[in-house]
Amino acid sequence: MFKAKLTLGLLTLMVASCSQFNLNLWGTITEPEAAEDVFTLSQNQPFTYQSTRFAFGNCWVEDYTDDQNQPQKSLRCALWSWSQTLPYNHVRVYAGQTLTIGEYQIRIFGIEQQSQGTFTMQIGIKATE
């Protein structure tokens, strides 16, 4: 079960899901898009989707600029991908980010710390159009 917590002023919203619903950056519940597969990855455990391998790790809070060119400070992790047809790829990602890696659109729904230094990441993957 994946949990999310959103604080808006004095209001705190707790959401738990079984990968059918997700909390987006605006605090509303969203469903994965049609043709989007949703997975929860464990840190440092490679995951294969079709012929592409994914893994993530090296998670910490850092300053960065988001997709809307706004300065942010939050948890980010390294996401690696590789396959026979896709060159090795390494990028830092954050919850709410959408990116394209090879032939896939990747949405990072959330990153959660499970215990000291251990994280899970919920992602959505679909073929690019």
**What are the tens digits of pLDDT across the range 88-100?**
899 999 999 999 9
For 60-107, write each residue's pLDDT tens digit: 999 999 989 999 999 999 999 999 888 889 999 999 999 999 889 999
| pLDDT higher than threshold 50 for residue 39 | yes
For the chain, the DSSP string reads: -EEEEEEETTEEEEEEESSSSEE-TTS-EEPPPTT-EEEEEETT--EEETTEEEEEEEEEEEEEE-TTS-EEEEEEEEEEEE-SSS--EEEEEETT-EEEETTEEEEEEEEEEEETTEEEEEEEEEE--
Report if pTM > 0.85: no
